[in-house]
């Protein structure tokens, strides 16, 4: 079982998740879009070692502090294989349009749709969910889905940015809708929701 603590980072208030496997104490961070002193202090208090920096997709507000965080705490960067080019291209990760282009970096582990890995004793499944970008994906564990900017509370990711595609996003939302059972949904921004709530009240998901 994984304990989750959310830090809002970047001027876009990205939901950066700090994960801790309760049995082993192993930790990971999802989508560090900017430096957070509070997050760094939390990591230090838990022993100063990270297993992974996990990325849902490659926009600057989700990846800007990934390389620094991984280097500082000895973590491996993990993301979907279709997200790798976003880590290298400022015009894809949009950092070129928001101040300073991010230096290119690479992930240590690239995942395919359906791949699993472990944080301590907890298995995490990765599924692709393109549409907002071609590199979007979700992490599923326990009763939780961390879905980046694919799905929001009663909304969904925009598709008018590089590699976005509305038709593909619709298929990704259908993929999430068809997951068996209910899940807590942690989107990339905004309030948390549940999959059942989105099945009933999300305007696009309801039509699928």
**Residue-by-residue pLDDT tens, the chain, 208 positions:** 999 999 999 999 999 999 999 999 999 999 999 999 999 999 999 999 999 999 999 999 999 999 999 999 999 999 999 999 999 999 999 999 988 899 999 999 999 999 999 999 999 999 999 999 999 999 999 999 999 999 999 999 999 999 999 999 999 999 999 999 999 999 999 999 999 999 999 999 999 8
The residue assigned the tokens 């760094």 is: 40
Ranges of each domain in the chain: 2-207
- Is residue 17 a contact partner of residue 99, using CB atoms and an 8 Å limit? no
Kindly indicate whether the domain formed by 2-207 is annotated with CATH number 3.60.15.10. Answer: yes
pTM higher than 0.75, yes or no?
Answer: yes
Cβ atoms of 87 and 63 closer than 8 Å:
yes
Q: Is 189 helix (H, G, I), strand (E, B) or coil?
A: strand
What is the number of other CB atoms lying within 10 angstroms of the CB of residue 45? 8
Beta strand 52-54 with 27-30: parallel, antiparallel or unpaired?
parallel
């Amino acid at each position: 079982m994984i304990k989750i603590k959310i830090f809002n980072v970047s001027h876009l208030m990205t939901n950066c998740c700090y994960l801790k496997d309760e049995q082993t104490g192993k930790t990971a961070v999802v989508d560090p879009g900017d430096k957070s002193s509070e997050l760094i202090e939390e990591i230090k208090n838990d022993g100063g070692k990270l297993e992974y920096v996990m990325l849902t997709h490659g926009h600057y507000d989700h990846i800007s502090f990934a390389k620094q965080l991984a280097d500082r705490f000895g973590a491996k960067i993990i993301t979907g294989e279709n997200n790798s080019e976003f880590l290298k291209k400022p015009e894809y990760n949009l950092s070129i349009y928001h101040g300073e282009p991010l230096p290119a970096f690479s992930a240590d582990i690239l995942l395919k749709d359906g791949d699993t890995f472990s944080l301590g004793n907890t298995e995490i499944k990765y599924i692709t969910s393109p549409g907002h970008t071609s590199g979007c994906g979700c992490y599923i564990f326990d009763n939780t889905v961390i879905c980046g900017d694919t799905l929001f509370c009663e909304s969904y990711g925009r598709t008018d940015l590089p590699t976005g595609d509305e038709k593909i996003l619709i298929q990704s939302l259908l993929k999430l809708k068809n997951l068996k059972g209910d899940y807590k949904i942690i989107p990339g921004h905004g309030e948390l929701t549940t999959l059942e709530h989105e099945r009933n009240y999300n305007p696009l998901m309801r039509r699928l």
